[in-house]
Amino acid sequence: MNLNKKLLFGVGLLAVLPVTSSAIVWRNDISETTVLNYGAGARFQGVGKVNVGGGFGTGTFLGIGTGGQAWGISAKHVITSGETGSFTFEDGGSYAISQAIGFAGADVSVFKINGWNRSVFTPTLSTTGIFTVGANLDSAGYGGHGAEGSLGGGYGFDERRRGMQTALHSTRTASFGGESQLQLVDLFNSPTNGARPVEGFGAPGDSGSMLLTDSGQIWGVLSGGQFEQYGAFNYYAAITPTLAQSIYNVTGIDPVPEPMTLFAIAGLAGLVARRRRRA
């Protein structure tokens, strides 16, 4: 969520869910280097920081649409219709966001990226409406950070992208900002209770980060969540078939992955196999 304007908005929504918020965390028996290295992976090179006013969230490059226009995807409470901003990366790259479009019935938005010149992994949107409980999922973001149990109610922020792993725990329908939306729920598992190798949990500044499958599909974007500790839940706005079609119609993006994206997915197939909140 946004530290300034959007923080107040997000806290109100969290109260509706109902939840509270603090910082992003990772399982406390792995190093921060492990999380940073995961966030530097090929599939996360299009994950950037969405800066709007005095606050920020996370967004992901979604593809090239009509007229060669580049688009990104994020959460509606990060950036929405009528807002502009910038899309920045830890290597110093910065791109103007000239327009954003929020979608009714979901905490999801897309935004135009001006001057895009990066060749990065391009995810596709889920179009089936099938969300399998237990499926392994990944995410990455620019939110507050720290190891589970070490935060003491505070957290640090920097310009680094951290990656994480999780799995789908359940689905639910809940109100967010007065709108009923389908949400995908993940559980922050402890090392003794099914945690994945790079288990993590989204936090303020991670709002809008994608929930990515092993096959390169975005299932949802981070919308809300609980305090970052083992046993807590985060909630992702689901990409339903209707929403996916609306996004592709608005952007003009071809939903078929480009060859380089297919190659990246294939390269991950043999690997053994993960963020909400706007700061």
Residue with tokens 């688009």, as numbered in its chain: 71
Q: How many CB atoms lie within 10 A of CB 159?
A: 11
Residue 178 lies in a domain: yes
With the CA atoms of 86, 236, 253 and 83 taken in that order, what torsion angle do they form, in degrees rounded to the nearest 10?
-30
* pLDDT of res. 22: 33
CATH number of the domain where residue 9 is located: 2.40.10.10
Give the count of alpha carbons within 13 A of 208, CB side only. 36
* pLDDT of res. 24: 59
At a CB cut-off of 8 Å and minimum separation 6, what does 26 contact? 32, 34, 35, 145, 147, 148, 162, 164, 198, 199, 200, 201
Residue 104 lies in a domain: no
Instruction: Spell out, as residue ranges, where the chain has pLDDT lower than 50.
Output: 1-23, 259-277
Looking at the structure of the chain, the number of domains it has is: 1
| CA-wise closest residue to 221 among 47, 64, 98, 83 | 47
Residue 167 lies in a domain: yes
Cis? peptide before 255, omega within 30° of 0: no
Residue 194 lies in a domain: yes
Residue type, 147: A
Q: Alpha-carbon distance 162 to 252, whole Å?
A: 30
The answer to whether 156 touches 142, Cβ cutoff 8 Å, is: no
* pLDDT of res. 126: 97
Q: How many CB atoms lie within 10 A of CB 254?
A: 12
Residue 154 lies in a domain: yes
* pLDDT of res. 153: 52
Residue 29 lies in a domain: yes
Residue 224 lies in a domain: yes
Q: Which residues span the domain enclosing 205?
A: 5-41+125-242
The answer, as to whether pTM is greater than 0.95, is no
Residue 132 lies in a domain: yes
The answer to whether 224 touches 276, Cβ cutoff 8 Å, is: yes
